[in-house]
Structure 1
C-alpha cells in the first residue's frame, strides 16, 4: 500500500514538472510574440540620418539660388531675412565674395554685382555684343496687350513700384516689366521711401522717341483716350 502511494506521488511530481516545462515554453513564446510588434515599430520610425538636410546645400548655394530667381537687386539685409542666416550681413557678403571667386575661377559669364543698394547677378561686359543681338531681336517684336497696358500704367503713374502696377492690373507683372526694360522703354527710377525700399519704375527717353513725344506732358489726357460714343 505504501509503495503504491509513493509511486502515485512520483508520477504526480513528474506530471507537474512536465506541466511547468510546457507552461514555461508557452510563456516564452508569448513574450517573443508580444515583443515582435515593438521591434517592427522601431524599424518603421525615421532614422536621425534621414532628417539631416542635404550636404550639397551650402550658404553660398542658398544665396546663389535667391539671386538667380529675383529680377531686381536685393539688399544684404533682405538677403539675411530671406535666407535666415545667423551670421547676418557679414556672412552674406562673405558668401557673395566666395561665389564671385568661384565664377572667376571657372570662367563664368556673370558675376554678382552691387547696384542700386543691393546685389544682383549681371553678365560680364565682354558678352555685350551677343546680348545686344538678342535684345535687338526682342525689341523688334511688337508689344503684347499686357505689355502695352503695363507701359501705360508706368507712363501715367511714374514713378511707381511694381506692387502698385500689379494692384491696378490685378495680375503679376514681373516678366512684363522685365521685357519693357529689355526693350529700353522702362527704367529703374529710384527706390520708394517705404518699408522694404522697393524699386520705382519710370519711362525712358526711348519711350518718348518710340511714341513721338517730346515730353511726358504730351501724353494723351484720359478724356482723349475714350473711344467714340463713350
Structure 2
C-alpha cells in the first residue's frame, strides 16, 4: 500500500472516530504491520500539513494517543453551531394536538383531525421536530396509517415519570366548550 494511501486511511479513521486513538490501534486498522515509527511519522506529517495551511482541523497528541479536533482559532464559530437551539414556544393548536396524542395514544393523524376538526400536518411536523412525539409504527389497515405516541422528551417537559402521572382527563371536561 502506498504511503499516501496509508496517510489518507489514518486521516479518515481519525475523522470518523472522534475519540483519541493510539498508534497501535491505527496499525491494527491499517493491517499492514508497519513500524510504529512509520505511523507516527505520518501522523506528524498530517499535523504539519494542517498547521502550515492553517486548516480548520488539527491533530493533537494526548499522552500516547492522537485525536482529530477543530482548530482552536475557529472555536467561536463552532460554539455557534453547538449552542442549544432555542425551541420556540408551542402554539395553542400544537398544545391541543399534543394533549390529544398524550391521552389517546397510539393515535393516527386522521383520528387527531377528527377530534380537532382541522388538518394537523404542520402541527404534527412541529411536534416531531421538537421530539415530543414519534412515529410509533403503522396500523394494519387500509392505507397503513402512521400511529403517533409521545416521547421521553414529552415526559421531561412535563416533569413526570410516566404517562400514568398525567392528570385524569376528567379534570378538563368542564373547561372544554362544546
TM-score, structure 2 as length reference: 0.50
**Greater share of residues in helix:** 1
TM-score, structure 1 as length reference: 0.39
- Structure label with greater radius of gyration: 1
**Greater share of residues in strand:** 2
